[in-house]
Each structure stands twice: as C-alpha cells, then as structure tokens.
Structure 1
C-alpha cells in the first residue's frame, strides 16, 4: 500500500483539484484539508516521545489520516484558522498563535516529501532573498533598488540611463472598498520622478528596464522544467503581462542549459521542489531572471500549452523522477 499524500490548500483552489484527481487516478490515498477548518471542522492529535517521532491523526467528521503514514505533503496557500464566534479580539489572537505553533508546528515537523515546505516558502517569498540567491547561482538579474527615499530613486533612474520599472515588493493584490485590486509593474514617467512624495511611506522596488522580445514562465517541479514563452499583444501586456491576459499568446520553448543549471542551483539553495519563475528574454536571446514564486499559478499555462505540470507535481509527490 502506498503512503497517503496530505494536501494542505484552500478548499476552492481548483488547480489543486487537478493534482488531487491525478493522484486518485493513480490509486494514491489523498487526505485534503484546509487550515480554515481548524479547529471547528478539523481535529489534530499529535504525540511524540523518546521511542517514536510524531504520531497521531488529522480527523474530520468523515475521514482520518494517521500522521506517521503520510509520505508527502502538497502545501499550497491554505486559509486562515477560523474560531468559534463570541471570542474577544485578544482571545482570538491568542488562539491563532497557539494554532500556528501547535497545529502548524506538528505538520511542519513531519519528515516526508514536501512540495513545498512552508518554512522554505516563507523565506523564498522575499524578493530581496530571491534576487541575491539568483545572482549567486549564476542567473542574470536587473539592477534593482529597494528604498523609501525619493532622492535615491532619482539617482537610480539617472544612473540607469533608460526607463525604470516600479513594482510591488510583496503580493500585488489588495482589497479596497470591498473590491479586489492588483498593483501592476509600470514604467516611471518624468512626472512620476518629479512627484515621489508617496515613496517615503513604505518600501518600493525599482528595476532598470530590460529590453524584451518576450517573457517566459518557467515552471520547475523537482528536476523537471516546463517553459512557456509569453507573447504580449498590447502595450499594457508588454509592460506587465499580468495586466492584460486577453492579449497574451503562448508557445512552448526550450531553456538554455546555463539558465537551467542556474535554476537548479537556485531551487536547491531556496530548498524548493516547486517554483514558478519569470524571465525576460531579450532581442538577442539573453535571459534575465525577475522572480520565482514558490506558490505561483500554473494551471492556466498547462491549459494554454498542454505542458503536463499537474502530472509532474503528482510524480514529485510520489517520488517519481
């Protein structure tokens, strides 16, 4: 009997559905859970002593999985813990801290395959960490500035000698007036450089513009790489392809060996089994690394190109190379 795979993801995450279906088609036992269900619809029992590592179980009303049997964990953006109504603010914050340390701590201690381990993901999500690691691993990166000082931005732009991009340092998504909004990368104009008052309120990331022929979403799963060239069909998409998905077309492409080797070193350095990396490919074919997302979307790329990413994730969870 194969070891069960534990899936930790939001219940409405449909790309995860594809991985679950693929595993079930292979006859793999799957226990899927969302941390939003703890502690009201999901229970944890964990035990450890001198003789045995962590044992115990995760249990819902209908299903149970023994922790010591878990062979792999697929961890992908689960929800936040939900507690019973009527708790005060301080009580809920205390309970959340206990849940993170207790529930999260027991799961994190499981010695099995992780795609990806949450502690590795947490560190890898820092763009400054990514850029430093990518540079050390031999990947080309654009000149970058992170600051909240307007004068430093003007000096950086003057030294760049060309366009400068401003982009979020962290997640580009925010909720304003009940609406979900995204902040996209954009080129600074002369007017922007003259009025930088808002820069001082928080950290901002700036990069020298890199001339591009197209961009590449490089999805890495274990030792396998799936490269899709992204071709922009509008000015907005050329500046940031996420701003105009309808104007994009995709083709499968190959990865230069030097880039592939750099990505292998980077994934090892960041301790990731999965990553969605973005590159700019210049007119002369030179690849420039922008970022790698340890929880990046992949399903739309598979749908557009047929690249077997869900199957590769299932392979990696089973330890199949």
Structure 2
C-alpha cells in the first residue's frame, strides 16, 4: 500500500513553525509530505491538468518534485500566500493579468480535489470566517453571546453606547490591520474599549463597518481548539495584566498564565456542533468565562494558531492534526 501523502499549502516550511512541527510528526508516522507556497508558482512551479478520452490527470511540479494530485490522501490549507508575479514580467498590466489567471487556476484546483481537506475547502472556511454568521449560529446552538451591533450608523452606535452606559468594545469586522501599497502593515486593530474621546468621531463610521459589543466581565478567557472530534481547551489568564485585559492577543507570555481547562460537557458539545454546522474539521474558538461562571462565545477562527498553546499547556494538538490528516489514508 502506498504511503499517505499530504500536501501542505503554506508560505514557508522553515518559517512556519506550525507546518514544520506537523510535517515532522507526519514523516515520523510514515507519511510523505509536500509543502507548496503558491506565491512562488510562476517562478518555481507548473501544473498540468489533462482531460483526455482515456484519462484524467492533475499534476503539480515543484522544482524537481512531481505531485500526482489525484493520489493525495489529504490537503492542509495552512497559511498560503497568493500567487506573486515573476520578476521577469516587467509590464504591470501583463503581470497583474497573469497573476489573476494563475490564482484562478489554483483556487479551482484545490476546490475540486477529492481528498479530505483541513480545515475545509477554501470556499467553506472563507464563509465560516464571516463573524455575523458565526454569532447568529452560535446563538442558535445555545451559546450565550454578547449583545452586539455591527454598523456603519452613528445613531445606532450612540444608541448602543447609551444602552450599556459606555461599557462597550469595538473590533474589526474582518481585517485586523491596514497595509500600505507595498504590503507593509502600518496599523493593526484588536479588541478595544471605547473611550469618551472616541465618541466624538462616530460620524466616521459611515466609511467602514465596525463590530460593537457589550463589555463582558472576565474571569479567564478560553482558547478552545477543535480538531476533528477532539476538543482542547486552554485558560488564558488575561486579567493578570492591564495590557491584556481587553484582548488576550496583547498578552506577555512571561506574566500571562496558560492552563488546561476542563470544559463542561454541554459547552464542548456546542463547540463540536459549531464546527460541524460550519463545515470545518478544525477551528479555534474564543470564549470568556465570567466571574459568575457563564461561558460566552466571541468568535471562531477557521485557521487560527495553536502551537503556543501546545507549548505552554502540553495539550497534544499537533498529534491531533496528524491523526486527522492521516484519516484519508
């Protein structure tokens, strides 16, 4: 029987610690792994899709390696970069055209492969990342969610602000950073409390939507990582430092304890139901545990990070990734 063969789409095997960790484990379990960065497609790779009377074949050539895409046992959509133009294409109009055509080819190619995909096919996990959809579905499944307004209206914002006596937070709808023309990040936004001075600028909301939520009191925050049917929950004690009080992503690992958390069975069941309904085989769910013990859903990232949780808590998340990537074999 041939060895399992997993194709990993990511920006760089050496720089992506998550991909490196899982690939090493897969190789140790007898699998073949191929890492492909679509950004280098024009300069380092080529593809052949053949639809003939007597055969159908799809092959990806990466340097000297040829991958028969129809024999893959799994595809992991990790963190690929979009196709970049080969430097030899000096005409910007032509370069842009070829990049769009190459991207269209690859997008359709991954979408229609028959092997299992993690976290899901691109069209599925892109839809699953839509935060308004997540909130509605979480509430339907029985999660408590914060009171929320997603708006471009100054009036709606001010009404919500008054409803909660100013104890509200804002966060971006989709993209948490602003890039300049060269792709450099010039500003990032996380979960932010609304200060009195911010209210003076609410007329600018007409230019860009924002998520506005009531400020939920926190005992701890949870990162719940779902891999297949396995659920790993970690406490992030974000309230021990002012820097991380409103958004744990501002934490300093040296002063922010991370501990394994025992999820109540009904909460774990809801987490599994959420990934099922979203069509995901993986998801990183953010919850709050309030001082009075309530579990409040914030969002799910269909392709979120987990390695720091594994390192700090010992939860075997990478092994769970290997388990699910080898299921197709």
**2:82 and 2:218 mapped to 1: Cα distance?**
39
- The partner residue of 1:195 within 195, 198, 201 is 201
Q: Does 1:293 align with 2:294?
A: no
SS at match of 1:245: coil
Q: Does 1:237 align with 2:244?
A: yes
Per the TM alignment, residue 161 of structure 1 is displaced from its structure 2 partner at its CA by 4.2
SS at match of 1:81: coil
**2:147 and 2:131 mapped to 1: Cα distance?**
13
**Range moving further from structure 2, 280-289 or 156-165:** 156-165
SS at match of 1:285: coil
C-alpha distance 27-189 of structure 1, shift in aligned 2 (>3 A): same
**1:179 and 1:90 mapped to 2: Cα distance?**
25
Q: Does 1:206 align with 2:207?
A: no
**2:201 and 2:178 mapped to 1: Cα distance?**
23
Structure 1 residues 1-321: aligned runs within 5 Å: 1-11=2-12, 12-48=15-51, 55-85=57-87, 86-116=89-119, 117-161=121-165, 163-175=167-179, 178=184, 181-232=187-238, 233-246=240-253, 247-319=255-327
C-alpha distance 180-298 of structure 1, shift in aligned 2 (>3 A): farther
**1:55 and 1:136 mapped to 2: Cα distance?**
43
**2:309 and 2:158 mapped to 1: Cα distance?**
37
Retained in 2: the 8 A contact 1:143–1:208?
yes
**1:132 and 1:89 mapped to 2: Cα distance?**
43
Retained in 1: the 8 A contact 2:85–2:96?
no
C-alpha distance 87-129 of structure 1, shift in aligned 2 (>3 A): farther
Per the TM alignment, residue 39 of structure 1 is displaced from its structure 2 partner at its CA by 2.0
**2:149 and 2:80 mapped to 1: Cα distance?**
32
Per the TM alignment, residue 93 of structure 1 is displaced from its structure 2 partner at its CA by 2.6
Q: TM-score, normalised by structure 2?
A: 0.91
SS at match of 2:63: coil
SS at match of 2:319: helix
SS at match of 2:245: helix
- What runs of 5+ residues in structure 1 fail to find an aligned partner? none
Per the TM alignment, residue 107 of structure 1 is displaced from its structure 2 partner at its CA by 2.0
Retained in 1: the 8 A contact 2:286–2:299?
yes
